Amino acid sequence: MRRGTILLAIAALLFVATSASADVGPKPTAHYKFVYQIAPTSIVGGQLIECEDAACSQGKPLSEGGPQGFRCTADSCWASKYGDFQHYQKLIIQFVDRTRESNVFESDGKGGAFIVTVT
C-alpha cells in the first residue's frame, strides 16, 4: 500500500514538472537614440505606437507588462516586446518643452537601433 502511494506521488511530481513552462527566450528590443537639429532638450516620457499599415490609421500604444513596454531616460528610449514588433511604428515623445510625434517608420519587426532626428 505504501509503495503505491509513493509511486503515485512521484508520478504526480513528474506530471507537474513536465507540464510547467516559462518564457525565458530573448525578446525583440529596439533602442532609440535622439540627435537634435534644435537645442537639445530632456525626454520626460513617451509611447511607441504600433501600426498595421503605413498610414497608421489604427495605431495602438505598445502595451506594458512584465518586461514588455516602452521606457525612456532623459536622452534615449527603448522598447521590448513579447513576439515581433509591428512593421509600422510611430513615436510620441514628451520632451521638457513639448510633445513631438515622429513620422510613421517601417521596421523588420525584430527591433534594432534607430536614430531619431529631432527638428
Per-residue pLDDT tens listing for the chain (119 residues):
555 555 444 544 444 444 444 556 677 999 999 999 999 999 999 999 999 999 999 999 999 988 899 999 999 999 999 999 999 999 999 999 999 999 999 999 999 999 999 99
Q: What is the DSSP letter of 57?
A: T
Query: How far apart are the C-alpha atoms of 29 and 43, rounded to whole Å?
Result: 19
**Of 43, 45, 75, nearest to 61 (Cα)?**
45
CB 75 within 8 A of CB 42: yes
Per the CATH hierarchy, to which homologous superfamily does domain 27-118 belong?
Carboxypeptidase-like, regulatory domain (2.60.40.1120)
User: Residue 53 has what pLDDT?
Assistant: 95
Instruction: Enumerate the β-bridge partners of residue 34.
Output: 116
Terminal-residue alpha carbon distance, the chain: 79
100: number of Cβ within 10 Å = 16
User: Residue 67 has what pLDDT?
Assistant: 85
Query: How far apart are the C-alpha atoms of 65 and 79, rounded to whole Å?
Result: 12
User: Residue 24 has what pLDDT?
Assistant: 63
User: Residue 11 has what pLDDT?
Assistant: 47
pLDDT one-digit tens code per residue, 101-117: 999 999 999 999 999 99
